[in-house]
Structure 1
Amino acid sequence: MAESVWKNKKVFISGSAIGLGRSLALQAAKNGAIVIGNYRTSKKQADGLRKLLKKYNKRSDVIQADLTLANETRDLFKVIHKQFGHLDILINNVGEFIYKPFDKVTYAEFSEVIDSNLKIAFHCSKLALSPMKKRGQGHIINLGCVGADRGVIRPLTTPYYIAKAGVITLTKIQAATYARYGINVNAISPGVIET
C-alpha cells in the first residue's frame, strides 16, 4: 500500500475538540499526520482528543486559544511555529451556527457567527501564509457550506450562509493569489453532518 500523503505532515485544525473538527483531527492522525488541534472552552473533550492523537503520533497536541481574539490567535501561531517548526496544512474548520429567523437574530449573534466563521479563517490564513510562502509550499483548506457558493437562500441560517459565502470568496482570492508560491487553497463545502 502506498504511503499516506498525510505522513508526518504538520496539520493545524481550528476548533477540533468536538464535532467535525474532532473527526478531521482523528482521521488525519490515523493517516500519519502530526496534528495540532485547538479548542476554546471544551477542555474535557480536548484532553480526550489529545490522548487519542498521541496514540498515533507523540508530537501531536491540542492547544487552547480563543481564535476570535487576535492576540490569542497570534500567540497560538507563535507556539505552533516554535513547537512544530512549520505548518504543512491549515484547516479552517471552526465556526458557530445559529438557527433562527433573520428578524430574531441579535447583532451580537450575527457578529459571533461572522467572527467565528469568516474572521477566524482570514486571520489563521494570514498567519499561516507568510511561512508557507517562504517555504514555497503549503495547503489551506477552508470549510464552506453546501449552497453558500451559489447564493442558496436558507432563511433560518442567514448569518451562517453570509459567513460561508465570505469564506468561499476568501478561498477563491487566496487560491488565485498564492498558487504562484506553491500554496494550494481549497474549500470543502459539506452538507448537514451529524456531530
Structure 2
Amino acid sequence: MIKKALITGSAVGIGRAIALDLASKGFDVAFHYNQSAVKANQAANQAATYGVKSIALQADVTKPEQAQSLVENVVEKLGGLSVVVNNVGNFLGKPTSEISIAEWQEVIDSNLNSNFYVTTAALPYLKAANGARIVNFACAHAQNVVARKTNTAYVIAKTGIIIYSKSLAQELIRDKITVNVVSPGIVENSFDLEEMIPKLPAKRPATLQEINHAVWFFINPDSDYITGQVLEVSGGWNL
C-alpha cells in the first residue's frame, strides 16, 4: 500500500489526532478543514516533523463539486491516495419534533452526504492504489434501530453511513479496498463530560489515542481481509 491519506475534518479533535498518528507511521497526510485554516496549517506543520509530506486544504465537503476538487488536489499534491478517513459530521441534540428543515438538511449533509461525496470522488484513485482503505465514522449504537429523544437526525445519518459502508465493502473487496466503520461513544473532547461520565460503565471517556488505535486496526496492512465491520469504542456504554 502506498502511504497517502486524506482525513476530513482534521484541523482539530479526532480528525487531527488520526492524521498526526498516520504521519507518525510514515503516511503523507492531507489535513482537511472548512473554516479552521490556522489550526489546520499548524497541524500540517506538526505532521511534517515526522519527515512526511503534509498539506492543509480547504473545502466545504457538503458540496459535491468541492469534495471532488479536494480529492483531486490531494492526489496532485501527495502523488496518490490510498486511505480516506471520513470524519466530518456536525452533531445536533434537539427534540425530534422541533428539528427545523434547515437543521435536518445540515445534519444529513455534514454527516452522510459529505461522506458519499468524498468517497465517490476518491474511488478511482483508491482503485489505482492496488490496496486501499476507507474508514468511516458513525457513533456508538447507530446500528441499533431504537427511538432517539434528542439526536434523531444525527443517528439517522450515522446509521446511513453504516449501511453505505457495508454495501461498499461487499462491492470493493474485489478492488483490494476495505471499507469499515469506527463508532465512538463519549470521547475526551466531547461536550457534557461531567454529565455523561457517570453513565458510562468505564467511568471515563475514550481517549483520542484509543480512537486512533481503532482506526489503525482497519488501516493496518494485516487487516486486508477485514471489511464491512463496525468497531465501537464506547467503554461498554448502552450494551
TM-score normalised to structure 1 length: 0.91
Alpha-carbon separation, structure 1, partners of 2:44 and 2:147 = 38
Aligned to 2:138: 144
Residue identity opposite 2:65 in structure 1: N
Residues 100, 157 of structure 1: 8 Å contact kept: yes
Residues 45, 54 of structure 2: 8 Å contact kept: no
Decide which moves more: 132-141 or 13-22: 132-141
Cα distance per residue 1:71-91 (max 9 Å; x no partner): 211111111121122111100
- Residue of structure 1 aligned with 2:13, choices 9, 13, 19: 19
Q: Percent identity?
A: 37
* Backbone CA RMSD of aligned residues: 1.5
Aligned to 1:186: 180
What is the deviation of 1:153? 3.1
Of Structure 1 and Structure 2, which has the larger fraction of its residues in helix?
A: 1
**Does residue 104 of structure 2 align to residue 103 of structure 1?**
no
Residue identity opposite 2:37 in structure 1: K
Provide structure 2 residue ranges, at least 5 long, that are not aligned to the other structure: 190-239
- Residue of structure 2 aligned with 1:63, choices 45, 57, 64: 57
Match runs of 1:43-192 below 5 Å: 43-192=37-186
Alpha-carbon separation, structure 1, partners of 2:128 and 2:92 = 38
Residue identity opposite 1:132 in structure 2: L
Provide structure 1 residue ranges, at least 5 long, that are not aligned to the other structure: none
Residues 33, 57 of structure 1: 8 Å contact kept: no
Decide which moves more: 45-54 or 182-191: 45-54
Residues 58 and 135 of structure 1: is their aligned pair in 2 closer, same or farther, counting only changes over 3 Å? closer
